[in-house]
Structure formats: C-alpha cells, structure tokens
Amino acid sequence: MVNKKKSRKTMIPSLKKSGPELSEFLTQISAGIAGTGLAVLLSVICKQACGRALLSASSLFNTGLGFGLVWLSWAVSKLRATIVSISKNAGKLGLKEEEMIQKLDKRIRDIYFGSAALLVVAVLSIA
C-alpha cells in the first residue's frame, strides 16, 4: 500500500517526461494488435465467402478472437490518448493529480478487461 502511494506521486511527472516515446510505443502496439485482429477477421470472411468452410465453432471463435483483438487495440489507443492529454495539458486543464491517476487507472482496467476477454475466447477455442 505504501509503495503504491509512493509510485503514484512520481507517476504524473514521469508521464510528462516520457510522453512522446511512450505515445509512439503505444501507437505501435495498438497498430500491431489491430492489424492482427483485422487479419483474423478477413481470414474468416474469405473462408466463408469462398465457401470452403461452413459456419462452424472454429470460425465463430476466430471471429471472436478478431473482434477481441480490435477491441484491445482500441483500449490501448484510448490509454495512449489519455497519456498524451496528461503530458500536454496537465497544467492547462486544471485537473488534479488524483483525477489524472483515476483516468489512467480506468484505461488500464479497460486493457485488463480486454485481455481477460481474449484469454477466455482463446481457452474456449482450445477446449
């Protein structure tokens, strides 16, 4: 608990310092995740359009995986936008540090939720 409070005090200044690099890194991760999700979705669509595969459990799970990856990419992109907003406009917006930390925590929880949903889809497709 003490360590968490101590790290929260240094979170906003470190985000301000690493804003451009972290933003670029999160953009690349988001693009990679979205690209993978779109590739999975297009693969399912092409198989269905060519008539090579009937609508099966495998194609449904692959569709869920594709949408889950796009959803996770969207969550990472929202985190990036929040970090950019904090690093650029922290003093201008008049937001308190606690409000900024709450916004970051919400975005990180969105990423955790999307990751958990993808994990469930992956486990169900294997089982």
Domain map of the chain by residue range?
21-126
Of 3, 35, 11, the C-alpha closest to 107 is 11
Which is more confidently placed, 96 or 44? 44
* pLDDT at residue 7 in the model: 61
Contact (CB, 8 A) for 51 and 104: no
Contact (CB, 8 A) for 84 and 27: no
* pLDDT at residue 90 in the model: 61
Of 75, 55, 77, the C-alpha closest to 118 is 75
pLDDT digits 0-9 by tens, 65-80: 999 999 999 999 999 9
Percent of residues, the chain, with pLDDT higher than 90: 35
Dihedral, CA of residue 106, residue 1, residue 85 and residue 68, to nearest 10: -30
pLDDT digits 0-9 by tens, 4-47: 555 666 776 777 777 678 889 999 999 999 999 999 999 988 88
Q: Evaluate if residue 3 carries a pLDDT over 50.
A: no
> What SS3 class is residue 118?
helix
Residue in the block written with tokens 């200044």: 13
pTM of the model: 0.80
Domain 21-126 has CATH 1.20.120: yes
Sign of CA dihedral 32, 34, 40, 46: negative
